[in-house]
Each structure stands twice: as C-alpha cells, then as structure tokens.
A and B are shown apart, each in its own frame.
Chain A
Amino acid sequence: MSMRYGIIRKYVQAAVLLGFAGAAFLGLPISNCSIKIGEFRVVYPTGFLETILLNHRINVDLVPGMILIVVLLVLFGRFYCSWICSASSANQLANPLLQKVISEKRFSRMERTWKSLRKKVCTRLNLGYGDAIALFIGIIAGIVIFDFPLLTIFNPIGLVSRSIIEFAVHHRLRFDLLLLAVPLLISLCFKNGWKTCCPEGLLQGFVARFNRTLIPVVNSEACNDCMKCQKVCPVGIPAVRAAHETSICQKCLECIDVCTKQAISISLWGQKGEYRQGTQGAEPLLQARKSGPILSNVSSNDKGTKGGTIIPLKRNQGQDNQEQEPK
C-alpha cells in the first residue's frame, strides 16, 4: 500500500494531543473528557454513565452529546480508541521517546522482559473478553453499592487528560499519573492487554457492534496466511475476522499497512458475512479459524480439541514461505 495509515495515524494522534493541550493553554473548555462548543456539550461515556449510577438521574444537558457519540460509533466504529484517545496516543507516542531517553538496547530489553512476563501471567490466567465484561459488571455494581466513583478516578483517559490540562495550565505533571500502574497491571493479565478490558472501550463496543463500515477485507488469493495482521492488531483479531468483531476492531488500519502481499483493503461498507473476497477454496481454512480461540476463553489444555492447533500450524507455514521466498 502506498499510503501509510500508521504514519497518518501517528500525526493525527499527536495533533489531537497537542490540540487538547493547546485548548487548555488558551482557556477553552475542551478536554479529552468533555468538550463544550457553544451550548453543546459532549462528555466521555464512562463519566456520563457514572453520574447516572451515582445520582440515580440522567443529566438531560448531556443527552444530545451522547446521541452524537452513538451516531459516530455506528457510522465509524471504535475509531476513537486508536485515533483520539489520549491515553492510547500517549502510550504509543511515548515508546519512541523512551527509546531516545534510555538507549534503544535497554528499551528493547525492557520490552522483551515485559512481554515474557505478560506471556507467563497470561497463560496462567488466560483472561479474555468475557472476563473483561465480568470485571466491568463488577465495577458497575461496586459503584452503585458503595457510591464510589471508581471509573472516573482510575480511567486512563481521565488520568492522562488531567495531566495534559495540568501541564498546559500550571506547567507541571500530576502525581496521580502513578495510578496508571493499575491499568498497566490489569493489562498484564489479559491476552491482548488493556484494550480488551478498557471500560470506555467496552462501553463503546456495545454500540459499535452495529457498525458496518470501514471494514478490512482480505483478498484470499493474495493472502499467504502469515498472520502478521493478527500480530500487529492492538486487539489481536486477524483481518479476516474484522467484519465479525466490529465491537472490538479499533479501525487503526495497521493490518493494511503490515500486509506484505497487499491482500487487505478497506471496504467502506461490509455486511457481516462478507469478510473475504475471492475463490470459494478458502472456505475450509476460514471455518477452522472461525472456531479458533481468538476471543473465547480456551485454556491452554484445550488446544488440541479445538481449531486452535490449526492456527499455529498455518502460521508456521506462512513464515516458512516467507523465508523461502528470497532464495
């Protein structure tokens, strides 16, 4: 692909972050958690939900903004998570910065230890989407029972957004950035990291499942099953399943960038069944992958009984093919 979506996304993320900081610096009521233009207000859904839970009434002023969010979610899916969310942007933009501050070697070593630690914890706990929903329901119940505003305090969006405001207004960082350790530790336990269990993302996902636009479509003739798209995907879904997982696909378009065969293209409108273009021959493989342990909680013991074994096999083949190609 000649267009590099990854680079465009990086610039958009940086621009949005700088925009929020600039708004705070200029004294405009615009932050990642709440935007006010004229009399129109949009606030982040977790904050809206929490005030309803704690006060037992709906703040009518905020309803038009929520309707706008719902419309955007149905129209474009969960694009917010990978293009706008301050926490996600800060995380992604911090990596190259860290690489410069501490040497690249040390950074990659740290990254490797973190990944191996995560692998260890993950294989033991094996938490997925279901666990994220269970935690979310628990948090909701806890908020209602104890009147404790857990979501707005520990939400990474709020934590990062507050620090951006504080930095722009008072030129200092806040100590409560340390609370980011909580989502970081939680992300250790989940197969695909924090993005599986982010409460804001989950909430958006409940609406985004009705989204049918901007779906990656795989050309089966060009695809060599290298599964790079799954590796690079922040939520760990292969491109062939993107149409089924509109509630978690974040529209980051990384899979299009990473595909060496240029087999993935973006379709403006896709039905639920239409996830693969090309010949019928690919069907059996597809079926195998469909039942594979992508989101379901299959413990490592069950691997043999399900389609799970097919994926690593195929992946190995794909890698072999790639290695042979240059010769």
Chain B
Amino acid sequence: MTDLNKKSSKKNQAKGVTRRSFLKYSLQAGAAIGLCGGLSLTTSAQPHLRPPGVAAGADFSTNCIRCGNCVEVCPTKALEQLDLSLDIKNIGTPVLNPERGGCIAWKEPCLKCVEACPTKVLSKYTPIEKQVLGVAHIQEEGCVNCMLCFEKCPIQGAVLFPNPKGEPFTRAYDIPSDMKLKYAKTKPYIDTERCVGCGLCAHFCPVKVMDIKPS
C-alpha cells in the first residue's frame, strides 16, 4: 500500500496535479463560471439602433465578435461600438449614433459595414428596402421649421408637413412660406409607417429636437 501511495504521489508530482491542486483548480474554474453567471444576470438588455443589414434572427450579443470593422468603414462615421453601460452583454457591439452621423444606405448603394462584417450578423442577403432600423420622432417645442429634415430624409413622404387644405406636404418647396416661419404653429411630423430610422434627420437637426427610437 505504502509503495503504491508513493508511486501515485510520484506520478502526481511528475504531472504537477495533486489532489489539493485539483481542488484548487476546480474552485477556480467554478469561480470563472460564477463570474459569467453573475455578469449575465446583472446585464439589463436595452434596445439599440443597429446598423443596416442585420440578418433575420441574429443577436448581436452572441453573434458579433466586436472587431469594430463596421465602425472603421462607415463613410458617415455614424457607427460606434457600445461603450460601458448596464447592458453588459452588448458592450462593444456596433450601434448607430445619430449624434455622430446617419445611415446613407437608403440614399445611395453603400452597405460597407455589411461587407466588412466577418460574422454573419450583418448579411448582404437582407434587402435594404425591407429594413427598418427605428422610428424618428420630432418634439414640436423647439422646432424652428428649418426644413433640413425634409431635405436630408432619403424617403419621400416619411417627413410630412400638415396642410389645412388637404393632403400633408411631402416636399419642402410645396409648403407656403408663411407656414414655414420660425415661430409658425405648424411643425413637421414623421410618418411612422414610412420612416426607416436612418438617423439622417436627427443628425442634421440644428436644434436637436429629433430622436430615433430603435425598433
């Protein structure tokens, strides 16, 4: 027995794993598992405005490798990687920030972020016409009727202007000039059915009364 014990202990020493260290290792592994579990419990998922081309059913928190290639190639610099936030699971995943820029994919063929994505989160097989990133909203107080949102919107009819004599205006130059005055009571509004949430209006809004709610 003693010989056997000696032999086994020698073997263990040679391998570098004794019973004690095995216990230590399993404790450490358990701590690592606990860390993952604790963090996944504390994370609070929030909706984010994502870049275009998100594949159906794709989840950024698990599919994205947070490489930042989409942020690098974006021509309008609208994308950024989610910074430190309570949504721990999504830290580092790309989000569209209207303060930095808007997505021009509906204006001209771009989708550079989709081409750059090494994973299949952003997929070129999702046609741009069928995509909606979010919905814009204009706060009427503070709006100065500058009509920049009309000019910048890539989709005709997404930004509307109330017309007392019939259908709402869809083009800025149709609107009578007395209604476009800075302090006029009529303000533009968004057609939530048509808006794709590209963020261009919010980016160029000079008084920052627009925001985009992610869908």
Q: Is B4 an interface residue (CB 8 A)?
A: no
**How far is B91's CA from A174's CA once the two chains are assembled, in angstroms?**
11
Q: Per-position contact with A for B76-95: 1 when CB-CB < 8 Å, else 0?
A: 01001101100011011000
| 20 intermolecular pairs with C-beta atoms under 8 Å apart | A24-B68, A27-B74, A29-B116, A31-B68, A33-B65, A34-B65, A36-B69, A55-B62, A134-B29, A134-B32, A136-B32, A137-B32, A142-B32, A142-B33, A147-B62, A152-B64, A152-B66, A153-B91, A168-B72, A297-B16
Interface size class of A (residues with CB under 8 A): 35 or more
Q: Per-position contact with A for B118-145: 1 when CB-CB < 8 Å, else 0?
A: 1110000000000000000000000000
CB of A146 within 8 A of CB of B37, answer yes
Residue of A146, A147, A152 near B65 (CB, 8 A) is A152
B residues adjacent to A (C-beta < 8 A): 16-17, 21, 24-26, 28-37, 39-40, 43, 61-69, 71-75, 77, 80-81, 83-84, 88-89, 91-92, 100, 112, 115-116, 118-120
Dominant secondary structure at the B interface: helix
The segment from A2-10, A45-53, A268-276 found at the interface with B is A45-53
CB of A145 within 8 A of CB of B37, answer yes
- Residues of B contacting A141 in the complex (Cβ-Cβ under 8 angstroms): 29, 32-33, 36
The segment from A94-102, A158-166, A207-215, A248-256 found at the interface with B is A158-166
- Residues of B contacting A28 in the complex (Cβ-Cβ under 8 angstroms): 72-73
Q: In chain A, residues 275-319, which have Cβ atoms closer than 8 Å to a Cβ of chain B?
A: 296-297
Look across to chain A and name the residue whose beta carbon is closest to the beta carbon of B69: A29
**How far is B27's CA from A134's CA once the two chains are assembled, in angstroms?**
9
Q: In chain A, residues 111-135, which have Cβ atoms closer than 8 Å to a Cβ of chain B?
A: 130-131, 133-135
CB of B116 within 8 A of CB of A134, answer no
CB of A162 within 8 A of CB of B68, answer yes
- Residues of A contacting B63 in the complex (Cβ-Cβ under 8 angstroms): 51, 54-55
Q: Is A68 an interface residue (CB 8 A)?
A: no
Residue of B16, B28, B83, B100 near A138 (CB, 8 A) is B28
- Residues of B contacting A47 in the complex (Cβ-Cβ under 8 angstroms): 65-67
- Residues of A contacting B68 in the complex (Cβ-Cβ under 8 angstroms): 24, 31, 33-34, 161-162, 165
Q: Which 5 A-B pairs have the closest CB atoms?
A: A142-B36, A138-B32, A138-B29, A47-B65, A34-B67
Taking A62-B119, A161-B67, A296-B16 as known contacts, 20 extra A-B pairs with beta carbons closer than 8 A to each other, sorted by chain A number, are A23-B72, A27-B75, A28-B72, A30-B69, A34-B68, A51-B63, A130-B17, A131-B24, A131-B25, A135-B32, A137-B29, A138-B29, A145-B37, A148-B36, A149-B66, A152-B66, A158-B66, A166-B80, A168-B72, A170-B100
A20 → chain B closest CB, angstroms: 9
CB of A50 within 8 A of CB of B65, answer yes
CB of A24 within 8 A of CB of B61, answer no
- Residues of B contacting A162 in the complex (Cβ-Cβ under 8 angstroms): 66, 68, 81, 92
Known A-B contacts A131-B24, A146-B36, A170-B80; the reply to A138 vs B66 at CB < 8 A is no
